Amino acid sequence: MLENATSIDPQLYTVTGGFHLVVTPVQEVQRVATTLYEKLKIKRVAPGHCTSELGFKVLMEQFKDRFDQAGLGQTISLP
């Protein structure tokens, strides 16, 4: 879906919501994080609860201070 969105606007900023990585093997979670960061050049991520603890960890390592925890009542600043 994101790759298709880049055909409309190649400068995607934030991806937010559930990444649904709960039962996903670590190698695939790492591939997703790398794709978002390196290939799609996403500036920030804000994953929801179904991303999994592993997903949070891998995305935090990749995005560092550009990682926002999404959840009920959270406010996420956009440019």
Based on its alpha-carbon atoms, the radius of gyration of the chain, rounded to whole angstroms, reads: 12
pTM of the model: 0.88
Q: Would you list the DSSP string of 24-69?
A: --HHHHHHHHHIIIIIS--SEEEE-GGG-HHHHHHHHHHHGGGB--
Q: What is the pLDDT of residue 72?
A: 80
Q: What is the pLDDT of residue 32?
A: 97
Q: What is the pLDDT of residue 7?
A: 92
Please give the DSSP secondary-structure letter assigned to residue 13: -
